[in-house]
Amino acid sequence: MTTMTEASVREFKMPDVGEGLTEAEILKWYVQPGDTVADGQVVCEVETAKAAVELPIPYDGVVRALHFPEGTTVDVGMSIIAVDVAGGAGGAPVAEVPAQAGAQSPAAQEPRPEPAAAASTAAASTDAAPVAEAPKAEAAKSVGSGRQPVLVGYGVAASSTKRRPRKGPQIAVPQVPDTVQAELNGHGGAPAVKERPLAKPPVRKLAKDLGVDLATVVPSGPDGIITREDVHAAVSPAAPAAPAVQPAAPMAPVPVTAPAPGFVPSYDTTRETRVPVKGVRKATAAAMVGSAFTAPHVTEFVTIDVTRTLKLVEELKQDKDMQGLRVNPLLLIAKALLIAVKRHPEINASWDEAAQEIVVKHYVNLGIAAATPRGLLVPNIKDAHAKTLPQLAESLGELVSTAREGRTSPAAMQGGTVTITNVGVFGVDTGTPILNPGESAILAIGAIKLQPWVHKGKVKPRQVTTLALSFDHRLVDGELGSKVLADVAAILEQPKKLITWG
């Protein structure tokens, strides 16, 4: 294996790809060790809690190492790829950045299931293996000696953590052959080297706050990872006390009790599928729980005849000014809501808990809930209130296409003021939508169906739908919410109000 020189290697760290996110999952690598890359070239795609983002490399050079495989969740600030900016003169590509302390065993070079974040290094025990710290130490040196690796348009989250220098005796520990170490462990020789327990940074912080030694915690996560539940179980009064650790003896394996004859498991793994909660699903769950238990929701309903609106949609499709644009009922419903907000601007507000103030927005960033393969996304159209109908149609088309392709940026999902969710596309009559966090109102559109309706004194088949408006009752009274919903309904029943009220 050819060793890279410190001066020629640049480590690209996982950047903060949007609004203070702390981690991202590597979805796909577009390069492999040995490939030549150029400044600005996309090397991988990562998924955060808000969007899938492609990361460009800020160096010219040759890829020498990919530190994590696809599917790994990496904390912001950790090195994910090493690039030899000398142009590949150093030799063949390697699978991982070698440690300066000496050659590693093949097992030590394999990526760990859950690497610790750089920010938690200061809190880690001083007996952590240098082999595991080598890639991060190499990355810290390379950042100081060259160009700072950042994602174009964002940047790496700043960190004030400084690494303490390693002591000399620690460097030699990992070089002891496994067979020799086993002999020492079995015959009372030198004490066994304790492997650093596997746990994510938040779990390590929780253990530190609760005074729990992770070495005494029995892991229940995949690949021996310690979870938050394991830490809580370790401090629970009902949990049995952990046995004292003998310094000269290795940890005994946890005994497994064989099931009694005739025992039937409480679940069948062949009939269940467990899906990790992460990415968009994890963020959506947290946001909805926070919204539902923070803002007192009120939902009102109205059933209306939208036959005239559907006729106007067909006429607009033939209009030369709307050619090539997405024209559908959602477009006119969005315009109706914008006019209702204009007539009742107090609905377009947010609740500032810290300042105990109601913040009325003089602009409308119209959110559109979109079901995508990655989960529910709510991108918004910036300054939708100032757009003409053709401009609004163009923005809607771009928003929907980008969301379906999974290319919605984090910025497109920030700063929304009111939202529309169309549950009618799934054949649902109506619903009680939960507010998007930070917003005061959300309008749900039900399915449009041909139904018997009293029109001009006679029962006729008409196109009918049900609208539902949920609002935050802290800042929106029933009167205000009712007026907004009634205005939207009136416009959709009599589309000429788009002109008289608009």
Residues with catalytic function = 473
Distances (CA, A) of 204 to 110, 127, 130, 134, 218: 22, 15, 19, 20, 14
Structure tokens at 317: 């499709």
Helix, strand, coil shares of the chain, percent, nearest 5, are 30, 20, 45
From the number of C-beta atoms within 10 Å of its C-beta (0-12, 13-18, 19+), residue 20 rates as: exposed
Cβ contact 234:217 at 8 Å: yes
Residue at 260: amino acid letter: A
Residue 111 contacts by C-beta under 8 Å, 6 or more apart in sequence? 67, 68, 69, 72, 96
Q: Comparing C-alpha atoms, which of 393, 428, 418 is closest to residue 469?
A: 418
Cβ contact 258:24 at 8 Å: no
CA–centroid distance for 329 within its chain: 31
Which helix (H) or strand (E) segment holds residue 341: the answer is helix 329-343
Q: Exposed e or buried b for every residue in 297-319, given b needs 16+ CB within 10 A?
A: bbbbebebbbbebbebbeebeee
Q: Comparing C-alpha atoms, which of 346, 262, 310 is closest to residue 450?
A: 310
User: Is the Cα torsion angle 396, 398, 401, 406 positive or negative in sign?
Assistant: negative
Give the separation between CA 198 and CA 204, rounded to whole angstroms: 9
User: Is the Cα torsion angle 68, 71, 72, 73 positive or negative in sign?
Assistant: positive
Cβ contact 347:441 at 8 Å: yes
Count of other CB atoms within 10 angstroms of residue 142: 26
